[in-house]
Amino acid sequence: MGAQWKKAGKMEASNKKGAVITKIVRELQVAARMGGPDPDGNPRLRRALDAARLAACSRDTVERAIKKGSGQLEGDAIEECTYEGFAPHQVGVIVECQTDNRTRTAGEMRVLFKSHGGQMGESGSVSWMFDRVGLVEAVAPDGMKDAEEEAIEAGANDVEQGEGSTYYFYGAIEDIETIKTGLSSRKWKITSAEPSYKAKNKTELTPEQRKEVEEFLGELDEFEDSSRVYVTL
């Protein structure tokens, strides 16, 4: 899909639920720290709350995360950091992380890249291979006939089909809420809506090469501090 990489079945696997909730809690903290605890004036927090509802996070967990992020409760400060590099076979990778220890996270990221024959690069070494976009992921309603027409009606610039009836709608970051509202009004089920990276060109791989790269991406995705992984696939 050339955007955020997700391991097949990750959200459905019961043994992964704890890791998913941990990442959502960190996102809630970061969103509240950066934009305040009121979701009405904080689009990023609204999106994090939507993710929390989809993952069935408890109300207490959500409230504590927001209070920690906004400074109403004591706790380790969660920071955002971004790493760039190449997976095997020169596949471009951007990893967004949320951590309470940048030094530890950077060291562990280097080990992950190196152990799979990849290479972690400097800032800007890979990001030029991507466009910064708004991404709305949604499940099509029954009877949907033309995804491209739906994208135009919702205000998106582009659309790609994912697995099954899942589609990815792209537009400007400032148009995320407009696209989300437009799709919802047309009976689409929104599963996520957030700023993203979209590869300008996709790296072509053989099936064997792709399997090797996906093993590496799976480890990046499962790394506790990673929140999003973007690739040129």
C-alpha 180/C-alpha 185 separation (Å) is: 9
How does pLDDT run along the chain (233 residues), one tens digit per residue?
Answer: 456 776 654 444 444 667 889 999 999 999 999 999 999 999 899 999 999 998 999 999 999 999 999 999 887 789 999 999 999 999 999 999 999 999 999 999 999 999 999 999 999 999 999 999 999 999 999 999 999 999 999 999 999 999 999 999 999 999 999 999 999 999 999 998 999 999 999 999 999 999 999 999 999 998 999 999 999 99
Query: pLDDT at position 154, please?
Result: 97
Query: pLDDT at position 30, please?
Result: 95
DSSP 4: B
Query: pLDDT at position 20, please?
Result: 85
Q: Name the phi and psi angles at 94, rounded to 5.
A: -120, 130
Bridge partners (DSSP) listed for residue 198: 131
**Pair of tokens at residue 112:** 């992950």
Query: pLDDT at position 13, please?
Result: 43
Q: For the chain, what are the domain ranges?
A: 14-69
Query: pLDDT at position 190, please?
Result: 93
DSSP 18-37: HHHHHHHHHHHHHHHHHH-S
CATH code: domain 14-69 is 1.10.10.200
Query: pLDDT at position 16, please?
Result: 64
C-alpha 121/C-alpha 94 separation (Å) is: 10
